[in-house]
Amino acid sequence: MNRRTFHRAGEVERRRDLIAATLDVIAEQGLRAATVRQIAARAGVTGGLIRHYFESKDQMVQEAYRELMREMQLSVEAAAEAGGLSARERLRNFIAGNLNDSVTNARTFAVWAAFIGHVNLDPAFGAIHREHYLAFLEKLESMLAAFQEETGARDPAAVLRTKAIAINGLIDGLWLEHSVARALFAEGEAATIVLRSAETILGVPEGSLSR
């Protein structure tokens, strides 16, 4: 087990280090192994220091789940928010970004899989999941609206939301398959599939996003 270098920095940085160590332990050993002792050993600190930053192990694990979801969304948004892009390019990058290596990798999937079973069992996990799902959906809807404005189309808000939910479902399904069985996909195949499917949902010509 590789220990993290614990930064002697401010409160925010120290807290982030502990959350990162928590995610490392969960990725390598599972959620049950994420004890205060194991996390402290990974971070190279004492259990007492962890208790200074988190009221309980449950709170620390919940914050780790929130950080995982935040990291995934920031990675995807970064691909879409580069300067000088058209609405079409931003939408394309946002959708395809969910299937790049920084999001579909063994570590991210292992941590997500450890957490997801708790979403319907633990209200705190459920609240974190809803928060990030709704934020992702809102971002996708805004990009769809900008894309439609750029192409001269405009769906009513309720229709646009339905299309955003459908595209998000495609992204989730292909993200899961790509994370578990990447060897079954050719380079870029999963992203092309989801982009072409999104074109069908949006009712735009083939190649509008996937080209």
How many residues are present in the chain?
Answer: 211
Has residue 1 got a pLDDT over 80? no
From CA 66, how far away is CA 31, in angstroms rounded? 15
Residue 186 phi/psi, 5° resolution? -70, 165
Q: What is the mean pLDDT of residues 59-70?
A: 92
pTM of the model: 0.86
CATH class held by domain 59-202: mainly alpha
- Confidence class of residue 9 from pLDDT cuts 50, 70 and 90? low
Mean pLDDT on 88-96: 94
pLDDT of residue 2: 57
CATH code that applies to domain 1-54: 1.10.10.60
Tokens of 73: 């969304």
In the chain, what are the helix, strand and coil shares in percent, each to the nearest 5? 70, 0, 30
Question: Is the model's pLDDT at 5 over the cut of 60?
Answer: no
What is the rounded CA–CA span in Å between residue 208 and residue 21? Answer: 42
The pLDDT of residue 140 is above 70: yes
User: What's residue 88's pLDDT?
Assistant: 95
- Per-residue DSSP letter, 183: G
| Contact of 133 with 167, CB cutoff 8 Å | no
Average pLDDT in the chain? 90
> Three-state SS for 152?
coil
> What was the pLDDT predicted at 90?
94
Q: Is the pLDDT of residue 7 over 90?
A: no
Alpha helix (H) residue ranges in 31-156? 36-43, 47-53, 57-80, 87-97, 106-116, 123-151
The span from the CA of 90 to the CA of 109, in Å, is 25
* Single-letter amino acid code for the residue at 176: L
Q: Where are the domains of the chain?
A: 1-54, 59-202
Residue 4 confidence (pLDDT): 53
pLDDT classification of 124: cutoffs 50, 70, 90: very high
**Across 125-137, average pLDDT:** 95
What confidence tier does 197 reach under pLDDT thresholds 50, 70, 90?
very high
- Cα dihedral 170→172→175→180 (10° resolution): -120
Average pLDDT value for residue range 133-148: 95
Residue 106, pLDDT > 90, answer: no
